[in-house]
């Protein structure tokens, strides 16, 4: 492989970006002793917060997938009035400050709101509740799923759907046997991004529910109460678990991809 000055400059710049991303993480892991990690893993509060964070993010992702994927298909297949405006609105939670997003969510689930009053009538208060945490996570993360699924459906040839419909196949069957399978890589990518973004969310969640603590809130609480020494091991454990989860996701996707290639031969 030949390198000229142009390539060398780009390689140096790429190396700086990678160093910027990897350096702080490596430094954090290196500064954490094995004893600190063991004590952190034994900590019931840490384990509970990690379990709460992963479970809420996963359930929220699955729930919103049911309503977001059809929405993404509609956006990819139909042209209608104000479509561009709607596409812009979908991205709003990404660009607004997440503390402001938390306040927005709090405004519709507090006891003074219509939703809050309806929930309160059955003895449910979304503020400080896992459902409220899930809504805060979903608000800032669902755009990733919608956008990824939308891109996936856009690349599915429309002629395949039309051909199936011309054979009197129902629209539902066409969606589940043609559209969805052909767009699944983008959809899985969107699901992973939504799950990850929800799991790491702090700003919106801390406004809606300081307790029960998700792991990002717990890390902030320990940093504010005890300092870096007590917050860093929790961060390392949480990041390690996130890495393991995403490796498993990646292996699962690659396995499905490999099986699909073998079936097509």
pLDDT recorded at residue 243: 87
Please identify every stretch of the chain with a pLDDT value under 50, giving residue numbers as ranges.
264
Tokens, residue 254? 């690659």
Q: What pLDDT score does 29 carry?
A: 94
Taking the C-alpha atoms of residue 121 and residue 143, their distance in angstroms, rounded to an integer, is: 31
pLDDT in tens, 208-231: 999 999 999 999 999 999 999 999
Q: What is the pLDDT of residue 264?
A: 47
Angstrom distances, CA of residue 204 to CA of 19, 93, 116, 145, 241: 29, 10, 18, 18, 22
Q: Is 128 left (phi over 0), alpha (psi -120 to 50) or beta?
A: left
For the stretch 159-199, pLDDT in tens is 999 999 998 889 999 999 999 999 999 999 999 999 999 99
What pLDDT shows up at residue 265? 53
pLDDT, residue 208, reads: 94
* Mean pLDDT, the chain, whole residue set: 91
Where do the domains of the chain lie, and which CATH numbers do they carry?
A: 47-210 (1.10.3720.10)
Predicted pLDDT at 246: 83
Q: Looking at residue 116, what is its pLDDT?
A: 86
What local confidence, expressed as pLDDT, does residue 254 receive?
Answer: 67
Tens of pLDDT, residue by residue over 155-170, are 999 999 999 999 888 9
Handedness of CA 239, 242, 246, 247 (dihedral sign): positive
């Amino acid at each position: 492989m030949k390198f000229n000055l142009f390539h060398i400059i780009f390689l140096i710049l790429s190396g700086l970006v990678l160093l910027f991303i990897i350096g702080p993480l490596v430094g954090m892991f290196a500064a954490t002793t094995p004893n600190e990690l063991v004590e952190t893993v034994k900590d019931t509060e840490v384990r509970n917060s990690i379990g709460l964070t992963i479970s809420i993010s996963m359930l929220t992702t699955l729930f919103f997938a049911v309503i977001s994927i059809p929405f993404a298909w509609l956006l990819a297949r139909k042209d209608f009035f104000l479509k561009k405006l709607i596409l812009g609105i979908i991205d709003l939670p990404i660009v607004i400050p997440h503390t402001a997003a938390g306040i927005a969510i709090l405004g519709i689930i507090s006891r003074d709101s219509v939703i809050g009053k309806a929930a309160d009538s059955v003895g449910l208060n979304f503020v400080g509740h896992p459902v409220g945490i899930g809504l805060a996570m979903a608000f800032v993360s669902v755009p990733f799923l919608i956008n990824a699924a939308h891109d996936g459906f856009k690349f599915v040839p429309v002629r395949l759907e039309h051909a199936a419909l011309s054979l009197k196949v129902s629209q539902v069957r066409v969606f589940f046997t043609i559209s969805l399978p052909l767009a699944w890589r983008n959809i899985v990518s969107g699901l992973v991004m939504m799950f990850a973004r929800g799991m790491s969310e702090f700003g919106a969640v801390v406004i809606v529910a300081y307790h029960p603590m998700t792991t990002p809130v717990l890390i902030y609480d320990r940093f504010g109460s005890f300092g870096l020494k007590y917050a860093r091991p929790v961060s390392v454990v949480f990041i390690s678990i996130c890495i393991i989860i995403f490796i498993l996701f990646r292996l699962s996707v690659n396995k499905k991809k490999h099986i699909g290639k073998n079936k097509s031969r």
